[in-house]
Amino acid sequence: MQLSSYSQAVTDYIQQHEGWQRDMLLRLRLFILSQGPQMQEQFKYGGAFYYCFGMVCYLAPQKDHVYIGFVEGVHLSNEQKLFAEPDTKQIRKVRIYPDKAFPAEALHDLLQEAILFNELKMQNKKTKSRVRDK
């Protein structure tokens, strides 16, 4: 991925953090953006958000971990057993701790599932729109 694909506002946001938080945000940013050529990032609501056929996830650094909030998490299978205990109706969170193994394969699968969910949701909206137009 070329540097020009990155949001400067997200770069600035990440640079505001220090130590392991900055390192983890950078690692997660690269990992998420590598999920497909249509993945885009935006600085929104004071943080880094990622889109592919709609909003997929966002990054939120905490005192002892960084979490990835899956915006449509309630609709995802969680076969990977990565989600923390739900604390909202819609969003599901994956906590990434600096002293634990990075769950690359499971996180990849979860991100791909979230992207597929968004794509199918978008296609369903287009189909409904065409049916109404007839």
Domains of the chain: 3-133 (3.90.1150.200)
Q: Give the separation between CA 85 and CA 34, rounded to whole angstroms.
A: 27
Specify the pTM: 0.88
**Predicted local distance difference test score (pLDDT) of residue 88:** 87
Return the structure tokens found at 125.
Answer: 């909206």
CA 7 to chain centre: 15
Q: Are 129 and 121 in contact (CB under 8 A)?
A: no
| DSSP type of residue 83 | B
Average pLDDT for residues 89-110, to the nearest whole number?
Answer: 96
Beta bridge partners of 49: 42, 58
The answer to whether residue 2 scores a pLDDT higher than 50 is no
- pLDDT of 103-132, one tens digit each? 999 999 999 999 999 999 988 876 665 555
Question: In whole numbers, what is the pLDDT of the chain averaged over residues?
Answer: 91
